[in-house]
Chain A
């Protein structure tokens, strides 16, 4: 109730002040939006505030537009703690509304600076509102465009039906033609076609060439050899590649782009796949990791909405509702058989192998596919080639035999340390 009366009071004050402005014409001090923009950015206001929607802090546009008491705003922005400490009712209200999370103090800003910022915010807010009106006007068109989604499918279906119908007509026409001709032939109306004879002769001639070739033993041998080699190598390759799914690229429930995150944004692989350094599983990140950024980044994207839906998260209230949560079912791309034990931390943390060695240029993949064949041959080849990274790892200190080999200048590979023994991966 107190809030309501407060709002009423503020509104009445706003009306009065607006009236005052109208009377006075221009405000006493000018607000420079350009300067304000620079200040807005240099003070990192954007890390907690957005113009149009609530973030960590309130949405600036509506708040500032509705706040008439500029002096209060300036005080708040310069030192909100002082206001709260002084138990200013307005300050306390907003402080409590945002779960008592403290806003940074900006005593470095002069009154004029703050005014410039306010000017910039108001400017932006107007632009946003104008932009909102425009799409509202164009709403009909957008709606139609959205409707065309299903109609596209219908169109395609229709085309398909037409094509099929056309084919049927064609076939039927041919059948009718043949039948008619047969009928006429039977009635003796149409004589046997001499053209047919001619083509038959040509066919006979063709067959004769084939027969001739068939009698040529060298040629037959050559053909048989070719086909044996061809079929044999085809079988060989097919058999080797049975259950090898290199290039497997299933459709994932969320269109997540490694190209964007790992490539353009240069987010470290570990940030999401933290297990790779400490566990056998690299682990698909849990959604709370996505939310570290996507609480504020690209909140409007339909793909991000999928994350919100999965979590039962409401971006407006910023609350989680675990009853609505339903986990995302990713499709596993790299499937090792159960009898092969693979440990990421052994390779990534101990061996210092880059992710790209096995997973390809992941930072360039829009959608991830299986880059490596994941066959045992592939594993073993790498174990035979890769030199063990001893440096600075006291684990290898006691391996005197290995040290001798290093001294002799021999290569010490994973394989020479027992890395291709059956039991190292199969148990």
Chain B
């Protein structure tokens, strides 16, 4: 049965506004000014002939002169003494780790050019998130400090050391407090360094300060079970997952790990064994996790607590004081149904909540305890160390400063002046501190206030280690010599604490040899070398014990009800505001990374800005239109931001992304969007992300650079979706392939595929839409960053994009065209499908037929080749591509001052992959299926004189995908993973009816919808 269900990318597409229809008629956003030239000044001008002759004469002259040039002299400068391990032209890989996740760093001729997941990594098992992929670009960030700064001027390390040590000794003699403010330190060696610093200056204390804190969970576990830890969650063991605002696939605690766990119950393997987990999400703003949930119920932040109380009541059969039915009827019924499902899955259920309120988290603990989650889906005995910040401690520290008790502050990887909610207060307090030192790599908001800025190395220049959950240790080793005159923060601290070991490498090595290596039975130099090769060690887990919640919940319930009532607003322009992280910019520390800024936000598809997300219906009521600039005011803070109508946003709420509005992050990230951190409030001992606010229009409008309706399919049916029940009845139920078989005709010669036929299988059920593949592709294929203005003109260059389709959530019936408009009412209840779209390498490629110069042709391996040097830029191919995956180079992005934020810089160009051409202005480009990797893989097999193994060649997008949604391989080999995947009953081809015979098969999205809840 072919679905009649309508899928749409944006509201304009749904309502089919005239503007949208018009803009979709043309391939490119800005039509060529042909009319203008023909009708306007072009012909009626007085001297077009003379101008023409002048131009002609000049052109001929210039060409003649250019042709007179002799052979350009290229210098070739070999190494003086070549390091033994370097062979020019061959990449070396080094193990390292990024935020505790084991990685491999690809280096060419000594410079890191790509970060890849370490297949042995326990977090992603080779998968990496977009931020990790983009981290290599930060190494070449030209805004990094090139020298240490003392009192605002460039200085030398010697001068700074003298200054700081003198000050520290004086402070030590005075006996006042010294504080180290750091984003949670989870490196064992760094902890040792800080311990040695504390030993030298005993008034020192380390304060873990996380911009996005998880204090609520840690404190709740302390209150409930006497263990102040962040638990290690196991989504792979859960059959029913209920999340209240926890974006665990996007940003919550350890998203890569959770995505991998989560998908293990929904991927091909799991579905073939007729097993699929169920995931229900209650949340206010549309999050990445919400879009992937089987059932998503929009609730206001104020309803979250009550909903949890009701859930507890339903599960336990008791009634907590203050319980009352939610005003939101659908949520209310959903809770009772969810409770039944959870009880049915006792011991295999998991409830998580993204709220940072201790009381709410205690209640969540009680619920999980009822469900028997402890010891199965929640592990408190092998906890996570990723976040250990204590919000109250940081607030107390500000009070200490105000009282003048603190004489020295050190900031390590922390930027509280930007991301603390009350930065004015913090600034005033800091003014009373005698010595302020920052290890930031740039003059950011915080380090601008510091006497000394001692720039830390980039992590790819550093030694170090990490321990992000119990028993898992990773090593950080440098892949390049320090680029600038920077020094590792730990080494700086060692010098200042006058430690006998002045060199951090020796310190780390020492620490491992004495403490960590013996844990796995390794020892000495050989053990150290094994570690450097493997990059990680894992010690045996202790068994996760079963914990039972037996604390009194009455006070807790009272607190929760109180908190909720504070959040309730009158409605109208008084709304509930929630700030959140999106999964590319996060907390804003990476704001200066152009790859991340250009990566469209997974849900809204907005680049280079944050915005106020509001429900369409609610906006209509208030008379707010898309693009209006809104003034959003909470009790303490006001900002103006453009509006984005977000289907699925809970009524009466708005959401604003954090991490934007940096004022001192560098050329790329400064003044992109507005800072939403000041909306935070400090309540009940934790930082909380929901407040009440009022909104009003300012009268201004602003166009967001949103990619959602670029590359439209004009309503063609390209998404296939089914429910788990239907899938169980008939696995091929929704692939649409067994419908009326058309007789097909071919205009093209069939190609012979003697050896390889490279194809891809993409599982829509595994893709979470996180966008890591987009960044990985940019890094691998030297894809230019075009910036906000060019994105507005629909000129983004990404070879792979993640299309996000909305559809109305309906049980069994399909929505017909007539009913659509009525359904506008139902815009809260949308479901989402993500579809990675890239060149399909069609066997009957329409682009090849129309190219007048044969710049794009087919290969005997099933690939659609693109010869840039042959392309003359007619753009016919882009016009004729039904998948809209071809990109045109409108500029020389690497040599044009308008694109200063990325490639137009010799230093940044060092990140380019030397095996891939940088494209010139005026040529088309598109996904090549990482042909450089295919060729390299084949060559390696030829040199080793063995056949090419399946899985040996991995394309960049596939390699980074934590959920293995993308499988690439040779379909000529029946044993290959991709052949098996494509044999799945769920396989379908996008626009198969056009008979272009695409090379990429998609697997039908399966939603585990419980018809009664949905």
Contact = CB atoms under 8 A, between A and B. Distances in A.
Interface of A: 242, 245, 248, 250, 274-275, 278-281, 283-289, 310-311, 325, 327-332, 335, 337-341, 343, 345-346, 349-350, 392-395, 397-399, 401-402, 417-418, 421-424, 426-427
Contacts of B938: 395
Nearest to B854: A422
Contact of A331 (B73, B865, B942, B948): B73
B941 A423 contact: no
Interface string B61-76: 0000001000111111
A346 B90 CA distance: 13
B860 interface: yes
Interface string B893-932: 0000000000000000000000111100000000010011
A401 B860 CA distance: 12
21 contacts: A275-B88, A275-B90, A278-B87, A279-B87, A283-B88, A285-B78, A311-B81, A328-B78, A329-B76, A329-B77, A331-B73, A350-B939, A395-B945, A417-B754, A417-B755, A422-B859, A422-B867, A426-B868, A426-B870, A426-B917, A427-B916
Contact of B67 (A242, A345, A418): A242
Interface of B: 67, 71-82, 87-90, 752, 754-755, 855, 857, 859-861, 863, 865-870, 915-918, 928, 931-932, 935, 938-939, 941-948
B87 A398 contact: no
A423 B67 contact: no
Contact of A427 (B82, B752, B931): B931
A101 B863 CA distance: 60
Contacts of A242: 67
Contacts of A398: 755, 947
A427 B917 contact: yes
A364 B87 CA distance: 28
Max chain A Cβ within 10 angstroms of own Cβ: one of B80, B860, B867? B80
A426 B869 contact: yes
Question: Chain B: interface secondary structure?
Answer: loop
B87 A275 contact: yes
B947 A394 contact: yes
B813 to A, nearest CB: 47
Contacts of B82: 286, 288-289
Nearest to A349: B943
A279 B752 CA distance: 30
Given A280-B89, A284-B76, 12 more contacts: A286-B78, A286-B82, A327-B77, A328-B77, A328-B78, A339-B868, A393-B942, A401-B754, A418-B860, A422-B867, A423-B928, A426-B870
Contacts of A395: 938, 941-942, 944-948
Contacts, number: 153
A331 B75 contact: yes
A200 to B, nearest CB: 40
A286 B77 CA distance: 9
Contacts of B939: 343, 345-346, 350
A120 B197 CA distance: 69
A417 B861 CA distance: 10
Contact of A401 (B755, B865, B916): B755
B975 to A, nearest CB: 11
A286 B79 contact: yes
A242 B63 CA distance: 12
A275 B89 contact: yes
Contacts of A338: 917-918
A313 B89 CA distance: 28
Nearest to B973: A398
Question: Chain A: interface secondary structure?
Answer: loop
A145 to B, nearest CB: 33
Nearest to B930: A427
A404 to B, nearest CB: 9
Nearest to A422: B867
A423 B865 contact: yes
Contacts of A274: 87
6 nearest A-B pairs in the assembled complex, by CB-CB distance: A423-B865, A279-B89, A286-B82, A281-B89, A401-B754, A286-B79
Contacts of B916: 427
A327 B78 contact: yes
A287 B935 contact: no
A140 to B, nearest CB: 39
Contacts of B87: 274-275, 278-279, 283
Contact of A350 (B76, B867, B928, B942): B942
B993 to A, nearest CB: 28
Contacts of B67: 242
Contacts of B870: 422, 426
A330 B73 contact: no
A422 B857 contact: yes
A285 B80 CA distance: 9
A279 B90 contact: yes
A245 B87 CA distance: 28
Contacts of B76: 284, 329-332
Nearest to B943: A349
Given A339-B917, A402-B754, A427 B74 contact: no
Contacts of B915: 341, 427
Given A331-B75, A350-B939, A401-B755, A393 B81 contact: no
Nearest to A337: B869
Contacts of B866: 422-423
Max chain B Cβ within 10 angstroms of own Cβ: one of A245, A311, A346, A422? A422
Nearest to A245: B71
B75 A332 contact: yes
Contact of A332 (B74, B88, B861): B74
Contact of A281 (B88, B935, B942): B88
Nearest to A312: B80
Given A248-B71, A281-B88, A339-B869, A421 B942 contact: no
A334 to B, nearest CB: 10
A122 B939 CA distance: 59
A421 B859 contact: yes
A284 B944 CA distance: 24
A417 B71 CA distance: 34
B917 A327 contact: no
Contact of A418 (B71, B89, B859, B932): B859
Contacts of A250: 71, 73
A268 B157 CA distance: 50
Given A275-B87, A399-B754, A402-B754, A287 B80 contact: yes
Contacts of B88: 275, 279, 281, 283
Given A283-B87, A329-B75, A426-B917, A421 B935 contact: no
Nearest to A426: B867
Contact of A422 (B865, B932, B945): B865
Nearest to A279: B89
A264 to B, nearest CB: 23
A18 B558 CA distance: 113
Contacts of A423: 859, 863, 865-867, 928, 931
B857 A427 contact: no
Contacts of B944: 395
Contacts of A402: 754-755
A361 to B, nearest CB: 22
Contacts of B943: 278, 345, 349-350
Contact of B80 (A325, A341, A426): A325
Contacts of A343: 935, 939
A217 to B, nearest CB: 33
Contacts of A279: 87-90
A250 B75 CA distance: 11
A401 B81 contact: no
Contact of B74 (A280, A283, A285, A335): A335
Contacts of A248: 71
A274 B861 CA distance: 31
B945 A278 contact: no
A80 B117 CA distance: 57
B945 A393 contact: yes
Contacts of B90: 275, 278-280
